[in-house]
Chains A and B, each alone.
Chain A
Amino acid sequence: MNNLVIGQFVPGSGILYRMDPRTKILMTIVYVFLLVFANSWVTYLWSAIFLVAALLLTKQGLGLYWRGIKPILWLILFTVVLQLLFSGGTPVLFQWGAIKVTEPGLINAIYVIVRFVLIVLMSTILTITTPPTAIASAIESLLKPLKAIKVPVAELALMLSIALRFVPLLMGETDKIMKAQKSRGMSLSTGSLMKRAKAVIPLLVPLFVGALQRALDLANAMEVRGFESAEGRTRYRELSYGRDDTLAFVAIAVFAIGFLALSFIK
């Protein structure tokens, strides 16, 4: 449960760590958005080059990224199989009964793998170089325009950062309750589906009761420290747009222009 790399910050240094989290989020969005329209191997190659450059800038070991991809390997494989079997078209490369693999199918399958991996790696780079609190305050800042239509942006951002703060705690608690229930003979891995589903209840009830108690305690602790409203507070970690961010925007602009040019060449 703890080897999930997506959403996990790894301390480090370099331009990607110094950049404003808002810039990083916008860059990731632009990158993923463009990638959806990639239609030829040159556009994929161009995207991969950009990604590798970003990857190297994080100065983190590649093993970290492999751990980021591992959890979704099955999802990738599943999509690939679907692409291979149901793409249709000609020429047919391989046929066995009703199953046939066509050339467009094979190409599409490869594209799907590349697209998946690139998207996951790009978002992993974002979360590895950006602490959850910075992501929360960046989202708050980016959503600020929504305040005009009375969306409580500051409250939502605070909720998000508190939720992130309690993830490891609740995971630890789940683990503890699971061990406690197992030691009393509960089994989540045997029996019929119905039986297994029922076994989850004695796990969820204490978890929820515990979480509610925590929420009450936390509310008291926050109030005592002078919390009244998420609005009108100052910030310890101020977001600041700097030279690194301008550089990053130039980079993503170059990438986007190159990408569009290459997709027309085809």
Chain B
Amino acid sequence: MTNAITIKNLNYSYPEQGELFKNFDFSVQEGEWLAIVGHNGSGKSTLAKLILGLLDFDQGEIQVFDEKLSEETLASIRAQVGMVFQNPDNQFVGATVADDVAFGLENRQVPSKEMPAKIEAALKQVGMEDYAEREPHTLSGGQKQRVALASILALHPRVIILDEATAMLDPEGKQAVMETLKELKARYQDQLTLIMITHDMEEAALADRVAVVSDGQLVFDEKPETLFLKGKQLAELGLAQPFSMELQSALGISQTTYRTKQELATWLSTLKA
């Protein structure tokens, strides 16, 4: 297994609030679905911006596949790593859905004749192909985020980072984005590394691995099934457990196994019988 992202000895201080990361080490494997969780100001979004070179770090090293992040490799790294941001409106560059997907292709100097097919293929993958000529203000937040995903998919990235991409969406929009992510992961498998920055534990539950960050420190780094058993420690970090675990504890069931909502429901019904 190769590493998609390797961070070694990273040091970063905010220009005003002071030090955030100190000798931070972290790595993400190729094909992994990783969730990075943490409370507000924990540094999780900053980490994403550092990986994409949107912020400059003070010391250390960030490596994306076999390239070290630097002024020279920035363009080639951004060609491999796509990012969906939190605010659906502020990342919509084009005047229509198709124009927005085209924006990245235009930057990469894809010939005009090849664009329509690529745009359609990308929109199909997120189920937005019927909206190609729509203007952004006629779309819901969830639809805009799926367009943002399509505009990244059109560039065939190896890594997609979602920076709180569902935080501003209604439950329906959230659901649609998460379903789309599941489909993409199933389609691309090891060809696609997903990094999801979130504070929603229901979303984190979908990942293979969850990294908990607090004040620039990696606190936990494990599978969701084991992490979600640590209710008390999570609460101390300002994080909630997934709903199913909270329900278990409210029911006085000892938290020794992680059950999803569905699993909990079936398990409860066997008890009754």
Contacts and interface: CB of A to CB of B under 8 A. Distances in A.
B69 to A, nearest CB: 13
Interface string B94-138: 111011001111111111100110010000000000000101110
The 8 closest A-B pairs by CB, nearest first: A236-B102, A217-B90, A221-B91, A226-B107, A225-B104, A233-B106, A133-B95, A168-B137
A218 B95 contact: no
Q: Is the interface of B mostly helix, strand, loop or mixed?
A: helix
B54 A220 contact: yes
Contacts of B152: 225
Contacts of B28: none
Nearest to B109: A234
A186 B89 CA distance: 28
Contacts of A220: 49, 54, 85, 91
Interface residues of A, number: 31
Contacts of B133: 11
Contacts of A11: 133
B78 interface: yes
A232 B109 contact: yes
A105 interface: no
Given A168-B137, A172-B137, A226-B155, A218 B90 contact: yes
B89 A169 contact: yes
Q: Is the interface of A mostly helix, strand, loop or mixed?
A: helix
A217 B91 contact: yes
B83 A224 contact: yes
B176 interface: no
Interface of B: 49, 52, 54, 75, 78-79, 81-83, 85, 87, 89-96, 98-99, 102-112, 115-116, 119, 133, 135-137, 148, 151-152, 155
A214 interface: yes
A161 B96 CA distance: 11
A80 B33 CA distance: 70
Interface of A: 11, 131-133, 161-162, 164-165, 168-169, 172, 213-214, 217-218, 220-228, 232-238
Contacts of B116: 236
Contact of B87 (A131, A162, A217, A226): A217
A234 B82 contact: no
A234 B78 contact: no
Nearest to A227: B107
B107 A228 contact: yes
B180 to A, nearest CB: 18
